[in-house]
Structure 1
């Protein structure tokens, strides 16, 4: 492993004439599009003045800069409108544009000049200046190299969505999210205020939405979306929820505006509306069976939503209003007499066309309010309103279709821009939802697929990450899922493709991590958690264990005696060669302190290519885990059902005979089983039996264990293992009893699966 080496082009290192000090090592994220340095330095001191125009927005920018200098360097600088002074920081807005955000930043003998094409541009210039002066831990005095930056964003939509419906986030937590967005020059905050799980915005016309729709009963062994029930705050039993008053909304919108971030509210329709319809069931197709979909045949549904939107647009000055439009269950429409009548009257052939009717009708009203409708890519189904903007989340295909048809598009594909997905492979990662979106996958994101016609590419407004909160309940967890992936996304959306440099970005992260620490942000070290690869040499009969992390940075230290590594443990430099079972405990260290999660694994020889595994019941081809040798391949599956290393068997028992191919002295056997009730039909076996034999005829049982049923929803990896008196072994039988059918209390019905992985021996 190599120790991090910061690129000279990014460190802004220059020595003063008398050689008494040097500027700090630093780097700006997102990378400026034009960046040059010269010999010389300028120091901000108590005599430096800030020169600025006397306007409201200029006052915001002045506050942004003066607060930073006061908090970090205890400098209270004078603010003036005089333009004839040296030793100054000049903030100049040309007011040539109010949206683009271009700026220049020049540091020279007379001081600092930030010139923006608008006050927004000046704000972005200040963010770059702040990064040149941070982290404070690397800066003794506010010393700056001479530098010239000319910069502008590549894409005009650089956003992140935060879901506050599933788990309500306090007002101050929302502001902290906005702070992180502003630091990275992001400009869109998509606020998912409404979903089936909870209503979070005060609507005066319909007070039940927050009296009841903002609260839900907490039910034992149930996730919020299972058997959902809206209730009142003071009802009996445990109640969970919250909402934002109109004053709260105004405060957050104003705060975002001061940080040049547009807030886009989402009012979900026509589906994902259980919370609403439990409060106002008259707008459901069947008031006795709330499906979470507004009745499209009821004119009252549209009047209800129009009244809500009228109050919403009064709070949010941004031009966009998001209506959701995703995952609409249409069965209730197709059974509803009112909806069927609507379909006959409007000559609609199916549920998709009825959804298109619904969206188009709402778009006309939203347009009448001087707003633009934006929705998830399902609004393409059945026909898209001509003025609608599409947010493509089910991959990029919907965005390609919409852009080629002449519609504006925001690319937001789940892979790689769902920040609720795991960003690391360690079993110690906090709860996540869905797949795996690592840091550098986010960095490589390009919002303009080649399938979009050249004359239509201007319709790609940019990109957006989405942070759903099924598993995320706190600001600390939000920050963990955002950072540093937000840093990667900011550079993907701000910096021109030809100016991006992944190695430079990785180098800059070293400084950025210190910035996060000083700001008190809980960022993920997932990209630095040790990962591994094992290879086998048939000629030498040796195994080789390689350690690395995603960024290929910092020291990895390890132990083989079971103890936790310290900064004094063995430094990993070359692959670890072994011929008998080893247990490794590895940890990445940055500046002498551990970062990321540790790797704890037993790696057995598995007898290389000579062993044979004979299955009584074949594994399913869709979950083959790597085939017949998967149980001995030294590739451990992690706690996700989509991990390709799991081997799956539906309904039948897991039963194998392992012929080791030779005899060995063994005293230990272990293997892993998986369960995830919340997302799969995979359950732990009810019983596991392990027997060993030297001759293949006479077997000794070394484990016979009943497995208690565990009803927890979270994923489980259960290690089944046994130690026994050392003896000669040539054959191993493993039997795991499948419960065959899922229990009645399970979320699903049908066959139960067994997922198994990695037999270890020593």
Structure 2
């Protein structure tokens, strides 16, 4: 009997262990769901998908949704689940309709023998299926077959719905054109993150991207510009109308129909933006009679400011043209909203235009601001007559809002606050949090971007509603949207880099209940999600792994202290000094590092022995002028003081970001700097550090002259260099060396740095300096 009990216990143990092997359990920490569901419970066990697993749908119209999973399984697992309306006893994933749920809500119950997904709409089913996708092993994203893997879904109970009805992303395809296939790929990724709106910026000064059959020149002429891609966006020169324009592209109406059909299957609505009255030089280049002057212009190749070439608001032909264009647009985009821009219109031409002034008089308008309001209200009436709602940037508040317009608040939150107070719906998209053309890390390690910062954690801090809003105002806030303007985004790979992982952060803050938002928890999940992005082939940024050094110098002792951190909290940072290689065996950073002599400091975030992001490589060069007194003939600009009196000799170097607080700037004057070495000194070289960013008017020096003196009164020139202007499309730091015969007993050095005299775009040239080394 005792032997029987032992054998029984043995066989029960085998059965239990086999069951655990067949249906292993998971913890919440094992799950990588973004956005975080509203309610999530993890239970023991898991559901296994195999060749016999069936997909059960309630109605035939939902059959296309099964491709959300089956397209993935066909590539990565080598099979597709069969689709049926009849459910077997077990081993199935079933879609069930539940009329009690909200339009975008879903419930998901996964047990060992079945998965039940309930929803009340196509959208709810899409989001539930995308959640199942994220619950599966990341290898499900593989483009080729994976062997020896269990396709398991953890046993979970999920009840989920979004916090906000508008969860968007704007893609600017005007400044740089992106092909149709990339747009479809991006729609897939939006659905993966439960975003629901693609704002399609189809028209701007630099390109008209949508075919309008009644006005073929809009794409024939307006869709292309002269290729100046070798220059910084804001350093490009004006084109002549007769120059050959070859750079660009556009979507045919058939392309748009294909994109729209694809988006519908993924639960993504598309809102077209047809800019007016400004940002339309591409249209005026095609049809000059649309402007006040009717003079021929070319499609610009780069930045334009101020934007004075705008539609004439006085001529009826302008409105006939726009109604024709919008009629074709509405046929292609049957949704509720049409975005008409309304931003950044400089009204100089309106002020001198007889037609515009006549319109102001006849309509009893006070000024050109009210003329723009008349313009937008007239367009709104046309859209309303066709059952559509106008969306505009927050400038449409100026002069009076169109009656039923929705406001997209980009210049901060204020426009959204005011519009909601007036009873208008609002979409928040502030530059401070949601402009993805901004840098997400130090420009020293990033591709060229707009000169401002939107790091990952800043996106995660975004909240669409403001505490100062009333209950009624908050009801008008539809949600939020991230904008990727493409001035500095020349290709699709770069577009991915600027969008991810920041788009994932936005997806969570507009979907997940606010009381569940937690940056540290998100940081853990997004790092794991990046492993899935790798398999998905997304060229995401690792900027949140970049080391952010904080260095300061004690001017009395000459000692530098450097603290290190990354944007992600609780990561492993290793560092190496001097000539030592940075590796997984390097010292782990625990406290600020002290530097007392010339040295190189390298550091990076490590995970499992692998470097996760860019390597910080800072070179601290102590020299004979370090921390010595400095006087200036011409003061540096109040906005660019860069450490003030000792900023040029404090050993600490500026980055490629000209607003980082390290750079000293001059305009309309040379920099004439005198350094008191305080004792007789031998020297033979002076090195001047300078920054160039041609798009913002910052240029390398044209000439550098070095003079020396024993008494500070009589100076002798010992060296001089000159430099010819060169095109430069990115931010760049360069050290300019002036070498000369060795000089003895020198106590004073005067350095004269002359700015570029002939700025290619006209106007003054900024001169930015940091660190003058005396050797």
Instruction: Give 1:542-557 correspondences, 5 Å limit.
Output: 542-552=559-569, 554-557=571-574
Q: Distance in 1 between matches of 2:616 and 2:730?
A: 21
Flag the 1:19–1:207 CA change in 2: closer, same or farther, 3 A: closer
Instruction: Work out whether residues 25 and 44 of structure 2, in 8 Å CA contact, stay in contact via their aligned partners in 1.
Output: no
Change in Cα spacing, 1:636 to 1:106, as seen in structure 2 (3 Å) is: farther
Q: Which stretch has the larger CA shift, 151-160 or 281-290?
A: 281-290
Task: Give the conservation status (yes or no) of the 8 Å contact 2:455–2:544.
Answer: yes
Counterpart position of 2:71: 67
Q: Which residue of structure 2 lines up, in the alignment, with residue 280 of structure 1?
A: 287
Change (3 A) 1:748 1:439: farther
Could you tell me how far apart the structure 2 residues matched to 1:334 and 1:155 are? 42
The yes-or-no answer on 1:752 pairing with 2:765 is: yes
Q: What's the counterpart of residue 6 of structure 2?
A: none
Question: How big is the shift at 1:211?
Answer: 1.7
**What is aligned with 1:79?**
83
- Give the 3 Å change call, closer, same or farther, for CA 666–256 of structure 1 in structure 2: farther
> The residue matched to 2:158 in structure 1 has which SS?
strand
Counterparts of 1:552 and 1:643 in 2: how far apart (Å)?
A: 22
Give the 3 Å change call, closer, same or farther, for CA 230–625 of structure 1 in structure 2.
same
Tell whether 2:498 aligns with 1:481. yes
1:189 alignment partner, one of 171, 191, 198:
198
- Counterparts of 1:299-318 in structure 2, within 5 Å, are 299-318=316-335
* Matched position secondary structure for 2:696: coil
Do residues 106 (structure 1) and 113 (structure 2) align?
A: no
Task: Measure how far apart 1:274 and its partner are.
Answer: 1.0
Equivalent runs, 1:137-536 vs 2, <5 Å? 140-218=149-227, 226=236, 237=244, 239-288=246-295, 291-536=308-553
In structure 2, the partner of 1:32 is: 37
- Cα 1:246–1:738 shift into 2, 3 Å: same
C-alpha contact (below 8 Å) 2:232/2:694 kept by paired residues: no
Per the alignment, do residues 511 and 344 of structure 1 end up closer, same or farther by CA in structure 2, a change over 3 Å counting? same
Shift, 1:728, TM fit: 8.9
Question: Could you tell me whether the CA contact under 8 Å between 2:76 and 2:140 is conserved in 1?
Answer: no
- Alpha-carbon deviation of 1:399? 1.0
User: Whole-Å Cα distance in 2 between the matches of residues 440 and 16 of structure 1?
Assistant: 44
- Identify the residue that residue 720 of structure 1 maps to in structure 2: 736
Q: Identify if the C-alpha distance between structure 1 residues 671 and 565 changes in structure 2 by more than 3 Å, giving closer, same or farther.
A: farther
Greater mean alpha carbon deviation, residues 392-401 or residues 695-704? 695-704
Deviation of residue 217 (structure 1)?
Answer: 2.4
Deviation at 1:586, TM superposition (A): 2.8
Q: Separation in 1 of the partners of 2:683 and 2:585?
A: 33
- The 8 Å contact of residues 407 and 426 in structure 2, kept in 1 or not, is answered as yes
* Aligned-partner Cα distance in 2 for 1:660–1:454: 65
1:678 partner SS:
helix
With normalisation by structure 1, the TM-score equals 0.90
- TM-superposition CA deviations, 1:192-219 (whole Å, max 9, x none): 0111111111111111112221122235
Output the CA distance in 2 between the equivalents of 1:553 and 1:723: 47
User: Does residue 115 of the first structure (1) align with residue 118 of the second (2)?
Assistant: yes
SS at match of 2:218: helix
Instruction: Return the alpha-carbon distance in structure 2 between the equivalents of residues 335 and 485 of structure 1.
Output: 45
Q: How does 1:624-663 map to 2 (within 5 A)?
A: 624-633=641-650, 635-659=652-676
What's the CA shift string for 1:625-661, capped at 9, x where partnerless? 2322323445533323433322112222212233456
The answer to whether the 8 Å contact 2:702/2:757 transfers is no
| 1:686 aligned partner | 702
- Secondary structure at 1:201 match in 2: coil
| 2:599 aligned residue | 582
After superposing the two structures, state which structure 1 stretch, 113-122 or 217-226, moved more.
217-226
Q: Which residue of 2 aligns with 1:10?
A: none
Distance 1:219 1:46, change over 3 A: closer
CA RMSD of aligned residues (A): 3.1
- SS of residue matched to 2:704: strand
Once the two structures are superposed, residues 150-184 of structure 1 have per-residue CA deviations (whole angstroms, 9 ceiling, x without a partner) of: 11111111111111111111111111221221111
Moved more, 303-312 or 71-80: 71-80
**Residue aligning to 1:12:** none
Report the secondary structure of 1:455's partner residue.
Answer: helix
Q: 1:578 to 1:699 in 2, by over 3 A?
A: farther
Q: Give the structure 2 partner of residue 8 of structure 1.
A: none
Alignment correspondent of 1:704: 720
Q: Is the 8 A contact 1:655 1:733 kept in 2?
A: no
Indicate conservation of the 8 Å contact 2:720/2:738, yes or no: no
Q: CA deviation at 1:678?
A: 1.8
Q: Which of these residues, 33, 37, 47, is aligned with residue 52 of structure 2?
A: 47
3-state secondary structure, aligned to 2:134: helix
SS of the residue aligned with 1:202?
A: coil
Deviation at residue 346 of structure 1 after TM alignment: 0.5
Cα contact 1:426–1:529 (8 A) shared by 2: no
Aligned equivalents of 2:114, 2:452: Cα separation in 1: 49
Structure 1 residues 742, 662: closer, same or farther in 2, change over 3 A? closer
Q: Does the 8 Å CA contact 1:659/1:730 hold for their aligned counterparts?
A: no
State the distance in 2 between where 1:735 and 1:613 align: 11
Whole-Å separation in 1 of the counterparts to 2:47 and 2:682: 71
- C-alpha change, 1:220 and 1:319, in structure 2 (3 Å) is closer
Which residue number corresponds to residue 11 of structure 1?
Answer: none
Give the unaligned 5+ runs of structure 1.
Answer: 1-14
Q: Which residue of the partner structure matches residue 5 of structure 2?
A: none
**Number of residue pairs matched?**
740
SS of the counterpart of 2:503?
A: helix
Query: Offset of 1:407 from its aligned partner?
Result: 0.6
Cα separation, 1, equivalents of 2:677 and 2:425:
61
Deviation, structure 1 residue 667: 8.5
CA contact (8 A) 2:683 2:746 kept: no
Question: Structure 2 vs 1, CA of residues 702 and 128 (structure 1 numbering), >3 Å: closer, same or farther?
Answer: farther
CA contact (8 A) 2:233 2:695 kept: no
Q: CA deviation at 1:185?
A: 0.7
